[in-house]
């Protein structure tokens, strides 16, 4: 078989004959994926039709469009749990997203589901997160009196705000998975999207424990006893236990929505839930985050109110190209502020008020 290695004499590469065209991957998917796995077909189900790619399946293309988006790059400066932490080892929304994608791919491959679809959904699932994480979401809800949800905003990012005004033109399956990636949203329509729901929870619970220990807010022996006993005594063991349980318990031999599906066993789910309740009490709703809430509220309330009242395009107002020009002002303000990174929100606040944001140090 010929390869794509360059010949030593520096002459052009020989013709690559072992390339796998998209059709071959699709035919492999038809044979190899579990009966309930989602097959990619041609250019995929898209709002605007386009020609199929010669090499990549529809879901590979969606994954690549998400990775190349500006919203994806901004995730590196958005809060996971701690606002703009000083330490280099804390998770950000970007590293959270990558950990979700890793876990989702592991589960998808083990279950013979479509790994590319699971990866695309995972990489896109948090694109609509505000600066300062869930705290920012709460402030937008309060100040703007709307039902803001980051999953719905993630869909808006890929459908409208990236490559305005037409969006990334992703497949229906990827948008459905992003839209329903949170457990308090509707049920998604593919097994791969259910995989991402589990992967998201498995990822954040474990890396947030890890970061809370790093910040000195927790120690391993304070976790509920059942967690160490059933899942393991460190993050790596716990992730392995949770992932293995999903793989062992799920049944994807039928279409999504029928009996079985991607599930976790009841006893393991209960232990994971106990860990989640513990994290809410100690960290997510605990004193450290209450302290951060002061910063998030001060900064975002100022920005939202300022942009609603100052003339669009003025130095102290909403930039003329923010959001989608032509949309209602409130919609544009929400799109603009929600898209900000923590550090851009803080810089903008400091520029507009002449005051420092007084960040907590983690």
Q: Is 126 in the site for Mg ion (CB under 5 A)?
A: yes
Choice between 126 and 210, CB closer to Mg ion = 126
Toward Mg ion, which CB reaches closer, 62 or 200?
200
Q: Measured from the CB atom, is 116 or 126 closer to Mg ion?
A: 126
Query: To the nearest whole angstrom, how small is the minimum distance from the Cβ of residue 198 to Mg ion?
Result: 12
> Does residue number 200 form part of the binding site for Mg ion (CB under 5 A)?
yes
Q: Could you tell me which stretch among 10-18, 76-84, 119-127, 323-331 binds Mg ion (CB under 5 A)?
A: 119-127
Give the per-residue contact string, 254-293, with Mg ion (x = CB under 5 A; - = no). Answer: ----------------------------------------
Q: Which stretch binds Mg ion (CB under 5 A): 109-117, 195-203, 251-259, 295-303?
A: 195-203
Q: How far apart are CA 245 and CA 39, in angstroms?
A: 25
Q: Find out whether 82 and 348 touch, Cβ atoms under 8 Å.
A: no
User: Residue 135 Cβ, how far from Mg ion at the closest point, in Å?
Assistant: 15
Taking the least distance from each CB to Mg ion, the nearer of 104 and 334 is 104
Residue that has been written with the tokens 């949770």 in this structure: 242
First vs last Cα of the chain: how many Å apart? 54
State whether the Cα torsion 11-14-15-19 is positive or negative: negative
What number of CA atoms fall less than 13 Å from residue 231's CA on the CB side? Answer: 30
What is the nearest approach in angstroms of Mg ion to the Cβ of residue 231?
20
Closest approach of Mg ion to the CB of residue 100, in Å: 6
Beta carbons of 72 and 127 less than 8 angstroms apart: yes
Give me the phi and psi of 215, to 5 degrees please: -80, 0
- Note the residues at the interface with Mg ion (CB under 5 A): 126, 200
């Amino acid at each position: 078989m010929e390869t794509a290695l360059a010949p030593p004499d520096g002459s052009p590469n020989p013709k690559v004959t072992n390339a796998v065209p998209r059709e071959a991957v699709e035919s492999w998917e038809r044979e190899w994926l579990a009966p309930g796995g989602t097959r990619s077909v041609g250019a995929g189900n898209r709002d605007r039709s386009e020609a199929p790619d010669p090499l990549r399946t529809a879901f590979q293309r969606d994954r690549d469009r998400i990775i190349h988006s500006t919203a994806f790059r901004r995730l590196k400066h958005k809060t996971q749990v701690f606002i703009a932490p000083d330490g280099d080892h804390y998770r950000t929304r970007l590293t959270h997203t990558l950990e979700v994608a890793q876990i989702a791919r592991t589960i998808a491959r083990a279950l013979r589901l479509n790994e590319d679809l699971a990866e695309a959904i995972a990489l896109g699932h948090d694109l609509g997160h505000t600066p300062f994480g869930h705290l920012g979401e709460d402030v937008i809800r309060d100040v703007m009196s709307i039902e803001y949800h980051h999953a719905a905003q993630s869909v808006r990012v890929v459908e409208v705000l990236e490559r305005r005004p037409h969006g990334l033109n992703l497949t229906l399956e990827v948008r459905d998975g992003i839209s329903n990636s949170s457990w308090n949203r509707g049920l998604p329509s593919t097994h791969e999207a259910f995989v991402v729901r589990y992967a998201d929870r498995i990822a954040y619970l474990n890396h947030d424990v890890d970061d809370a220990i790093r910040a000195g807010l927790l120690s391993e022996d304070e976790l509920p006893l059942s967690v160490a006993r059933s899942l393991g005594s460190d993050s790596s063991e716990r992730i392995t236990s949770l992932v293995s349980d999903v793989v062992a318990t799920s049944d994807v031999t039928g279409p999504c929505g029928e009996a079985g599906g991607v599930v976790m066993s009841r006893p393991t789910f209960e232990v994971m839930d106990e860990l989640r309740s513990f994290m809410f009490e100690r960290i997510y709703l605990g004193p450290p985050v209450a302290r951060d809430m002061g910063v998030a509220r001060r900064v975002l309330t100022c920005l939202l109110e300022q942009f609603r009242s100052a003339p669009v395009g003025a130095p102290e107002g909403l930039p003329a190209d923010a959001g989608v020009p032509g949309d209602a002002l409130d919609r544009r303000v929400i799109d603009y502020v929600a898209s900000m990174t923590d550090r851009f929100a803080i810089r903008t606040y400091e520029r507009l008020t002449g005051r420092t944001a007084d960040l907590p140090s983690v």
